[in-house]
Chains A and B, each alone.
Chain A
Amino acid sequence: MRLSTLKKGQSARITAIHAEKELKHRFNSFGVIKGATITVERYTLGRKTMEIRINKTRMAIRLSEAETIEIGV
């Protein structure tokens, strides 16, 4: 299941990240890593961008980037 299937306010555990090297490193330094619990805070009006939270870190990512994050419930 991909991250973008989550609704606002839902959480899930990250099971895999299929990102390119650069994006993966970016995710890495923010704590978006396998095993972390991720919460979807909100989507923008056009559903192109979303706000996610891991532990104490909130971040904005594009939906296209969220597609690379695989989650399990």
Chain B
Amino acid sequence: MKTIKIALVGQPNVGKSFLINAMGDVKLRVGNFSGVTVEKTTIHFSRDGYEFEVTDLPGSYSLTDYTTEERVTKNFLDDSDYDLILNVLDSTNIERNLYLSMELLALDKKVVIALNMQDEALKEGVQINAKQLSKLLGVECIHTSALEKTGIDELIEAIIKTHQQPTQPFHLQYSDAYEEEINKITAFLQDKHYQSDSQLKTIAIKLLRQDTSIYRTFHGQPIWTELQPLLNKSYQHLYLHYQSKDLDGIFHDEKNALAKGAVAESVKFDNTQSVSLTDKIDAVLTHQFFGLPIFLFLMWGLFQITFEWGSIPMGWIDAFFAMLIDGTKSFLGDTELASVIADGAIAGVGAVVLFLPNIIILFTGIALLESTGYMSRAAFLLDGFFHKFGLHGKSFVPLVSGFGCSVPAYMAARVLKNDRDRLLTLYIIGFMSCGAKLPVYVLIVGAFVAEQQAGNMLFAIYIFGALLGVFAAKLLKITVFKGEDEPFVMEMPKYRLPTLKLLYHTVSEKAFMYLKKAGTYILLASVLIWFASNYPKQAEMDAHYASKIEQVATDEKKVNALKNELALYKLEHSYLGIIGHASEPFFAPLGFDWRMAVALEAGLAAKEVIVATMGVLYGLGNQQDQQSASLADKLKANISLPTAIAFTLFVMIYFPCLAASMVFRREAGSWKHWGYLFVFTTGTAWTLAFIAFNIARVIFS
């Protein structure tokens, strides 16, 4: 069977993915474009004797380098192997969609245009003469409606037909002034018998746009010495004619004029300017005064649902893995192998799978916010506030999610399309204290603060963390991520109801990727941490304590005390304990002893581990939770208030847990950022804890 490779291109919100779903019985394959975090979906299906391989490129307004999405699309179209471009347009907004088409048509590739959302367009009184448009653009234009599944067969037919024909010669006619310069260059290239796979007109346009890649090809060739003066003359003509020195801008003006012309000749608008549904909804949702409260309520709701509803299946997952661990141990017996599989691998992977319900609920919510079009409204309402701190209006989603768990929060940062905005947000998500830090706060607040003030204190800790976060954003913005503000210009798409199928696809992709990637990293790392806390073995001590325990076998209290002593000894002499002791000098200025150091280091695996480790180290056995009054008492006896304050601050700010930091690495795109995050969070945590410790010492002495 013959394969047709299709690059699926369109502006955002034109129903690209939806159209592909309507085209065939699709098999989705999700991956990342190499080096970036933008998802790449390849779809396979066969029809009419052909095998179709469709690459769904991220939605782009134009072929520029502005956002990650647009860069990915541009690079794919320039460098990858494909047979034709399927350009999907939103018929209700034809002119702006044609701006992109005009760029695609200048690429010298086979193109088919789908005039999608035909049903909506007719309702809105937009009548596009597809035949006329096809003639004007020189490519097949087909009316389609992904929703009503119309025009799909015709579209496939057009794709096959276009594929069989040779690439059409360049068809667009720019303005006379622009065409004149194009002709001069093509004539020169023709005289020199210049050989190229692309059409000469395409090359000429690229030269006139000062496209860097075409310059690179020409630069090493002898022809360049003659071409250069010719080009310079052409530039001077264009500058003079357009009263502008922005060559790319001139090309875009030309391109837009073509689009305008094509619309004028092939589209009829029944101008019944009634108030649209979107206008009515926007009057409420983006209301000057009610807009923000409505938004806050919606976010509160999403947050509640994510972590309240999520906790129900989390209980089952937790129970399931506990059962699996017990089962493995009883099956394999009390061996090292059983321990590494059960306590290392299964426990570690279980800790990751545990967050799956949160991820699914949160991403269903985000997918709803995004696909209905509300996300842009929220960003519009909030941008004024966030921009003061160098953040983008859309940063609110990942930041708010961060209060639940950093893992979905890092993933949610994908709503930010610009690299710098996204990185900045990724760096400060950790300041939003996640759910796993709560036990630590509860323990320390419980030990040092009067019961009636405990709730307020907890709230204050969360708010303080968030405030630190926005100030950290400001600091990073004026130091590391400095430079001109990126333009905010953001489309507010029409309100639309997403289909269940599309929601399902979006969410299942996210869930699957989370499980696959975080799961593999975590598996490795959990085994490593298991090893560090269990080795080297203390056989002598084991034997020594075993005999001691035997002697007091009847007295349960003494047995437990001895067991604790042994556990403490073993942990202190494990690699983890050795590291704890070694790092004591680093923590000494903050008033932390080696036990707190070990607890913090173990907390790098998961923040929940901090309390459990402190339980062991302060001599109380393994099963500790925040309710344990005795651990709180022990803490109060062992550490001073300034140390407790410093410790709380340190936990609030320092490096996120293993699962989260791995997801951060993936979303930020490199280990370099992982390293920066480590230095940034640890440095900030240490500095602030140090300052707080010393101030508190003066106040409370």
Q: Are B62 and A29 in contact (CB under 8 A)?
A: yes
Question: Complex Cα distance A55/B492, Å?
Answer: 13
B contact face: mostly helix, strand, loop, or mixed: helix
B285 to chain A, nearest CB (A): 11
Count of A interface residues, CB-CB < 8 Å: 35
Instruction: Select which of B248, B282, B387, B491 is within 8 A of A30 by beta carbon.
Output: B491
Q: Which residue of B lies closest to A21 (CB)?
A: B246
Question: Complex Cα distance A43/B385, Å?
Answer: 14
Within 8 A of A (CB), among B61-120: 61-62, 64, 66, 92-93, 95-96, 99-100
B: contact size bracket: 35 or more
A1 within 8 A of B: no
How many A-B pairs have beta carbons closer than 8 Å: the answer is 114
A46 to chain B, nearest CB (A): 4
With A31-B95, A42-B288, A51-B286 already in contact, the answer to whether A26 and B487 are too (CB < 8 A) is yes
With A22-B66, A59-B489 already in contact, the answer to whether A45 and B92 are too (CB < 8 A) is no
Within 8 A of A (CB), among B477-496: 484-493
Which residues on the A side are within 8 Å of B246 (C-beta)?
21, 24
Which residues on the B side are within 8 Å of A30 (C-beta)?
61, 96, 489, 491
B249 within 8 A of A: yes
* The stretch of B324-332, B376-384, B528-536, B570-578 that contacts the partner chain: B376-384
Which residues on the B side are within 8 Å of A55 (C-beta)?
93, 95-96
Which residues on the B side are within 8 Å of A56 (C-beta)?
92-93, 96
B239 to chain A, nearest CB (A): 15
Q: Are A61 and B488 in contact (CB under 8 A)?
A: yes
Which residues on the A side are within 8 Å of B96 (C-beta)?
29-31, 55-57
Which residues on the B side are within 8 Å of A26 (C-beta)?
61, 66, 487, 489
With A27-B489, A42-B286, A61-B489 already in contact, the answer to whether A48 and B384 are too (CB < 8 A) is yes
A54 to chain B, nearest CB (A): 8
Within 8 A of A (CB), among B330-385: 376, 379-381, 383-385
Which residues on the B side are within 8 Å of A51 (C-beta)?
286, 380, 492
A contact face: mostly helix, strand, loop, or mixed: mixed
A7 within 8 A of B: no
Which residues on the A side are within 8 Å of B485 (C-beta)?
64
Instruction: Select which of A25, A41, A45 is within 8 A of B64 by beta carbon.
Output: A25
Q: Are A60 and B490 in contact (CB under 8 A)?
A: yes
Q: Are B387 and A25 in contact (CB under 8 A)?
A: no
A37 within 8 A of B: no
Which residues on the A side are within 8 Å of B248 (C-beta)?
21, 25
Q: Are A44 and B95 in contact (CB under 8 A)?
A: no
Q: Which residue of B lies closest to A50 (CB)?
A: B380
Which A residues have a C-beta under 8 Å from some C-beta of B?
20-34, 41-49, 51, 55-62, 64-65
A/B interface sample: 24 pairs, CB < 8 A: A22-B487, A25-B64, A26-B61, A29-B62, A29-B64, A29-B252, A30-B491, A31-B96, A33-B253, A33-B256, A34-B253, A44-B288, A44-B291, A44-B380, A44-B381, A49-B380, A55-B95, A56-B93, A58-B492, A59-B489, A60-B383, A60-B488, A60-B489, A60-B490
User: Which 5 pairs, one residue from A and one from B, show the smallest C-beta to C-beta distance?
Assistant: A48-B384, A29-B62, A29-B61, A60-B380, A58-B492
